[in-house]
């Protein structure tokens, strides 16, 4: 793939334009029922990429990202129900609210490291779930409907939600790519790999991690809002369900953490498993677990890790080529 | 000429262990100060305090006339301090080139030319052939080279070198000495090294420390012949001035 390096930015940009075009055209030739499934797939994919961004690009392991799925959904539902505003117009608010919440908890959770940090966010998710469950104004345990969408035409709601979900998926692939190859991406990678050395080369480690955490969590919140908008109802037990975390972990680990391609594969595997085995009850969960264990044993870097190392294919990796390798290769073949 | 970096009364204890006891020294531009001392003497701890990874309990560190004793690590780097680690600390998943590129990118506020800086530094440090190999899978010697490459790419005013010659062959030591000599005119260098002939070839002055205290200071020849240094290294019992 090194031969592709100089033209890769063009290819990636072309692929982004193509995917956006396809996304725009999809509602015209895909029935509404299938659109709903695609919305779900895209939203779950966005959850997974949000976690992958934190774990594989920022170096923050959180086991509580369901917190932001729930916060994103609740902030949208409450804002729309209270003000009567069109939820499609105020959707970015769920990003802002989730990001702000993430920013507010960083002074506390960043005092903790590794497993303690991971669990602390999970604990906060449970606290928020219990808080909402006990407040009638917030819908209590039975949750909230999205009132504004009742008067809208079903097809308009489905198409609009689909566009948001499609945008999430495109940002999950190409947005992540452009972040990872940027100056910010280099700073994040340095901090992820070695915080001490990152400080020693002039990177403000705390603010870099802060920015990564806020960005990733805000995105998860936005995806949570889109997901729950498509089902018109949110309740605390579902929105703050730790099982969301299990799904994100499964998709990212089976596909390959720290890669863009991995979670695409992971999401496909997850939904195929669900389509084939969801009727088998507990066996389905055991199969998911077995598949995850199997992949981890064979390749800790996931399915995409195998593809990358065996076939040497790297489509959307953030590798910066030095441009120094060409003369050396020539020298090696000459000698 | 005023020194680029000076240290006054630097003191740090970890429990009963004293790693710096009222240490003072100053290094000017174009000058190289060597630091020697037995293992555990406190050499690397002095570097950790200079670089901002460890806070001194007493004393002052002044860089270019500014007191940086309380400045953060990354702020010191932006002010012109560059260091290597004795045990290599690369960005393991990034390539050698990306490691150096990151150093060239984040160590200064102005933009542009980072890629050229990174390439030329890799060539100078003999890493050009390994430029696109992930740093985590480089052999130890290349990772030590990468420490130096990353520090040079910072374009520092003060370069802290921590045992970069250990493990090199004689020919490689000669190359390293030539490289550091070439860098020296624009820099204040503080170099901790056990390979004393490499250090003597570059250092203008050497400070010998033990238990965090200075036991000798002078030209390389003076320090190597100093009775206190001989006692610490060779175990020779001589009638010397008390040290603490």
Contacts with A205 from chain B: Cβ below 8 Å: 74
Phi and psi angles of residue B107, each rounded to the nearest 5 degrees, phi first? -90, -5
Return the number of CB contacts < 8 Å for A and B: 107
Question: What are the DSSP calls for B108-132, one per residue?
Answer: -SS-S-HHHHHHHHHHHTT-GGGTT
* Model pLDDT, residue A281: 82
Residue window 259-278, chain A: list those with CB within 8 Å of chain B.
none
Instruction: Give the CATH fold of the B1-80+156-244 domain.
Output: Rossmann fold (3.40.50)
Q: What is the pLDDT of residues A2-42, one digit of tens each?
A: 445 667 889 999 999 999 999 999 999 999 889 999 999 99
Contacts of B185 (CB under 8 A, 6+ apart): B30
Q: Do A324 and B97 touch (CB under 8 A)?
A: yes
Cα distances (angstroms) measured from residue A186 to each of A286, A314, B39: 39, 18, 36
C-alpha A168/C-alpha A48 separation (Å) is 11
Nearest CA in chain A to B107: A202
| Alpha-carbon Rg for chain A in angstroms | 21
Using DSSP's 3-state secondary structure scheme, residue B223 falls into: helix
Question: How many other CB atoms are there within 10 angstroms of residue A182's CB atom?
Answer: 12
Cα distances (angstroms) measured from residue A45 to each of A36, A49, B219: 14, 6, 65
Q: What is the pLDDT of residues A182-240, one digit of tens each?
A: 999 999 999 999 999 999 999 999 999 999 999 999 999 999 999 999 999 999 999 99
Q: Name the packing angle between helices A66-83 and A114-133 (round to 10°).
A: 30
Q: Which residues of B89-113 are buried (b: 16+ CB within 10 A; e: fewer)?
A: bbbbbbbbbbbbbbbbbbbbeeeee
Both tokens of residue A32?
């509404």
For B106, the closest of A187, A196, A322 (CB atoms) is A187
Both tokens of residue B153?
């790419």
For B106, the closest of A194, A201, A324 (CB atoms) is A201
Q: Do A205 and B97 touch (CB under 8 A)?
A: no
Nearest CA in chain B to A59: B93
The conformation of residue B86, written as its DSSP 8-state character, comes to: S
For A324, the closest of B83, B89, B131 (CB atoms) is B131
Q: Does A199 contact B at CB distance below 8 Å? A: yes
Q: Where are the domains of chain B?
A: 1-80+156-244, 89-155
Q: How confident is the model at residue A278 (pLDDT cuts 50, 70, 90)?
A: confident
Dihedral (C-alpha) A256, B100, A110, B78: value to the nearest 10 degrees?
Answer: -160
Contacts with A323 from chain B: Cβ below 8 Å: 115, 119
Q: What is the pLDDT of residues A288-301, one digit of tens each?
A: 889 999 999 999 89
Contacts with A328 from chain B: Cβ below 8 Å: 128-129
Q: Does A32 contact B at CB distance below 8 Å? A: no
Residue given tokens 């990874």 in the structure block: B53
| Residue A141: alpha-carbon gap to chain centroid | 26
* Model pLDDT, residue B159: 97
Which H or E run includes B66? Answer: strand B66-67
Which H or E run includes B28? Answer: none
Residue given tokens 């001989």 in the structure block: B230
C-alpha B164/C-alpha A99 separation (Å) is 44
Q: How confident is the model at residue B114 (pLDDT cuts 50, 70, 90)?
A: very high
Q: How confident is the model at residue A330 (pLDDT cuts 50, 70, 90)?
A: very low
Q: Do B132 and A324 touch (CB under 8 A)?
A: yes
Cβ atoms of residues A139 and A235 within 8 Å: yes
* Ramachandran bin of A84, using left for φ above 0, alpha for ψ from -120 to 50, beta for the remaining angles: left
* Model pLDDT, residue A1: 44
* Model pLDDT, residue B181: 95
Question: How many other CB atoms are there within 10 angstroms of residue A238's CB atom?
Answer: 18
Question: How many other CB atoms are there within 10 angstroms of residue A28's CB atom?
Answer: 7
Residue window 211-230, chain B: list those with CB within 8 Å of chain A.
none
Give A264: exposed, middle or buried? Use CB within 10 Å, 0-12, 13-18, 19+: buried
Q: Is the pLDDT of residue B244 over 50?
A: no
Cβ atoms of residues B212 and B20 within 8 Å: yes
Q: Do A194 and B154 touch (CB under 8 A)?
A: no
Dihedral (C-alpha) B128, B131, B136, B137: value to the nearest 10 degrees?
Answer: -70
């Amino acid at each position: 793939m090194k031969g592709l390096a100089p033209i890769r930015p063009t290819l990636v940009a072309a692929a982004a334009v193509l995917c956006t075009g396809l996304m725009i055209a999809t509602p015209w030739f895909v029935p509404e029922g299938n659109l709903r499934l695609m919305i779900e797939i895209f939203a779950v994919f966005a959850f997974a990429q949000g976690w992958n961004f934190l774990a594989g690009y920022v170096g923050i392991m959180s086991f509580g990202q369901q917190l932001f799925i729930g916060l994103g959904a609740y902030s949208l539902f409450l804002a729309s129900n209270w003000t009567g505003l069109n939820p499609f117009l105020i959707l970015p608010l769920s990003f802002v609210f989730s990001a702000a919440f993430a920013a507010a908890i960083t002074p506390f959770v960043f005092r903790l490291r590794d497993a303690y940090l991971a669990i602390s966010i999970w604990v906060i998710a449970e606290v928020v779930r219990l808080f909402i469950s006990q407040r009638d104004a917030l819908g209590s345990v039975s949750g909230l409907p999205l009132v504004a969408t009742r008067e809208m035409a079903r097809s308009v709601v489905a198409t609009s939600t689909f566009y948001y979900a499609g945008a999430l998926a495109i940002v999950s692939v190409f947005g992540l790519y452009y972040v990872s190859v940027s100056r910010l991406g280099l700073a994040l990678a340095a901090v992820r790999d070695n915080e001490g050395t990152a400080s020693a080369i002039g990177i403000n480690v705390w603010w870099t991690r802060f920015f990564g955490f806020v960005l990733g969590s805000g995105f998860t919140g936005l995806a949570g809002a889109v997901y729950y908008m498509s089902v018109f109802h949110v309740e605390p037990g579902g929105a703050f369900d730790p099982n969301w975390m299990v799904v994100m972990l499964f998709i990212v680990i089976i596909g390959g953490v720290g890669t863009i391609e991995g979670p695409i594969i992971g999401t496909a595997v997850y939904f195929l498993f669900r389509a084939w085995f969801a009727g088998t009850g507990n066996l389905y969960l055991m199969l998911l677990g077995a598949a995850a264990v199997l992949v981890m044993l064979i390749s800790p870097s996931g399915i995409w890790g195998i593809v990358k190392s065996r076939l040497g294919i790297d489509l959307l990796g953030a590798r910066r080529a030095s441009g120094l390798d060409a003369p050396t290769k020539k020298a090696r073949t000459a000698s | 000429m005023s020194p680029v970096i000076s240290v006054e009364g630097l003191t740090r204890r970890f429990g009963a262990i004293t790693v710096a006891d009222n240490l003072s020294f100053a290094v000017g531009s174009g000058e190289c100060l060597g630091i020697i001392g037995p293992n555990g003497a406190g050499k690397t701890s002095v570097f950790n305090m200079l670089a901002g990874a460890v806070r001194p309990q007493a004393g002052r560190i002044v860089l270019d006339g500014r007191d940086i004793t309380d400045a953060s690590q990354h702020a010191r780097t932006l002010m012109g301090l560059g260091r290597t680690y004795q045990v290599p600390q690369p960005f393991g998943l990034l390539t050698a080139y990306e490691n150096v590129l990151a150093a060239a990118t984040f160590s200064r506020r102005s933009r542009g030319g980072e890629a050229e800086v990174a390439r030329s530094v890799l060539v100078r440090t003999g890493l050009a052939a390994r430029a696109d190999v992930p740093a985590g899978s480089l052999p130890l010697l290349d990772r030590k080279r990468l420490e130096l490459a990353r520090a040079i790419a910072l374009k520092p005013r003060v370069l802290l070198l921590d045992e970069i010659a250990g493990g090199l062959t004689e020919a490689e030591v000669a190359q390293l000495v030539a490289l550091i000599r070439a860098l020296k005119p624009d820099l204040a260098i503080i170099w901790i090294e056990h390979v004393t002939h490499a250090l003597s070839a570059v250092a203008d002055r050497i400070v010998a420390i033990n238990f965090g205290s200075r036991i000798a200071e002078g030209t390389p020849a003076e320090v190597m012949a100093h009775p206190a240094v001989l006692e610490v290294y060779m175990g020779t019992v001589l009638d010397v001035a008390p040290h603490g």
